[in-house]
Amino acid sequence: MIFDTHAHYDDEQFDADRNVLLCSMAEHGVGTIVNVSASYSSCERVVNMAQEYPFMYAAVGVHPDEVGALNEESFARMKELFKRNKVVAVGEIGLDYYWDNESHELQKEWFIRQLELARELTLPVLIHSRDAAADTMEIMKKYAQGLEGIIHCYSYSKEMAKEYVKMGFYIGVGGVVTFKNARKLKETVEVIPLESIVLETDCPYLAPTPYRGKRNNSAYIRYVAEEIARLKGISYEEVVEQTEKNAKQLYKISS
Ligand code: NI
């Protein structure tokens, strides 16, 4: 079944129909979802949701746009959440020079601190990186050796994707791959092995064609898997099966 490795179901865009939508996932072929925190305030929410839904797991971490909320005290409180059940990764963490919400120095500092936290907890990391290819790679080379994880919503070159794959990371592919103008990502999918790809929505954002611009949800991952199958000249079933296997291996989910 489909494994959505990166979703944000605590987002207010799901307030009106969250439970109905999540309860319909199985009938759309979605078997597992990792609910990822982005802001400091969403960390506890995603962990609570994972206790509520048997097919849902949680990732705890603070997005680069939001690291202004972190200090020693809030970071210590965030760390406490890893004692709860079903917290399977540190994320999403990284650098975002597109929105540039926080200074590069502050983004780097908390990116590194959260990579070190993942090492301490022996958990995989979910990396967010936008318009910050070189700085991200530099920090990953220095602080993420031996760690595992996903380069989420991958948007850089195929050469850099190969480098991340060599370092043992998975490439997260979502709705963008279905966009007509996503030439770079389509090329990346063609050249990296299916064994290094995982599926993701980043919902409510980045809905695939034919829902581009609308609210995304895990059922739409079907269109992402179909496009990967087309690009690689393999079956839809093979894409779903192998990416599920990859994700379960990374997150250490056995069921
Ligand atoms: Ni995200």
- Ligand 1 geometric centre to CA of 7 (Å): 6
Ligand 1 centroid – CA 206 distance (Å): 10
Q: 136-173 pLDDT, tens per residue?
A: 999 999 999 999 999 999 999 999 999 999 999 999 99
> For residue 93, how far is its CA from the centre of ligand 1 (angstroms)?
9
pLDDT at 91 over 90: yes
Helix (H) or strand (E) holding 236: helix 236-251
Top CATH class, 2-251: alpha beta
DSSP-assigned letters across all residues of 82-113: GGSTTEEEEEEEEEETTT--S-HHHHHHHHHH
Distance, in Å, from the CA atom of 148 to the CA atom of 144, rounded to the nearest integer, reads 8
pTM above 0.85, yes or no: yes
- For ligand 1, a single-atom ion, which residues have Cβ within 5 Å? 202
- Dist. CA 192–CA 165, nearest whole Å: 8
Give the distance (Å) from ligand 1 centre to CA of residue 72.
24
Distance from residue 61's CA to the centre of ligand 1 (Å): 11
Q: Is the pLDDT of residue 255 over 80?
A: no
Ligand 1 center–CA 60 separation, angstroms: 12
Ligand 1 centroid to 59 CA: how many Å?
11
Q: Is the peptide bond before 204 cis (omega within 30 degrees of 0)?
A: yes
* Helix/strand/coil percent split, the chain, to 5: 50, 20, 35
Spacing, Cα 158 to ligand 1 middle (Å): 21
Q: Provide, rounded to the nearest whole percent, the portion of the chain with pLDDT above 70.
A: 100
CA 235, distance to chain mean position in Å, is 24
Mean pLDDT value across residues 190-213: 98
In percent, the amount of the chain with pLDDT more than 90 equals: 99
What is the whole-number distance in angstroms between the Cα of residue 38 and the centre of ligand 1? 7
Which pLDDT score, from 0 to 100, does residue 207 have?
Answer: 98
Q: Is 155 helix (H, G, I), strand (E, B) or coil?
A: coil
DSSP alpha helix (H) spans, 53-195? 72-80, 104-121, 133-143, 158-166, 183-191
Mean pLDDT, the chain, as a whole number?
A: 97
Read off the pLDDT band of 227 (50, 70, 90): very high
**Per-residue model confidence as pLDDT tens digits over 4-49:** 999 999 999 999 999 999 999 999 999 999 999 989 999 999 999 9
Query: How far is the C-alpha of 218 from the C-alpha of 5, rounded, in Å?
Result: 10
In terms of DSSP bridges, do strands 56-60 and 30-36 run parallel, antiparallel, or are they unpaired? parallel
Distance 172 CA to ligand 1 centre (A): 11
Ligand 1 centroid to residue 91 C-alpha, Å: 9
Distance 254 CA to ligand 1 centre (A): 24
- CA–centroid distance, 6 to ligand 1, in Å, is 6
Average pLDDT value for residue range 99-123: 97
Confidence tier at 69 by pLDDT (50, 70, 90):
very high
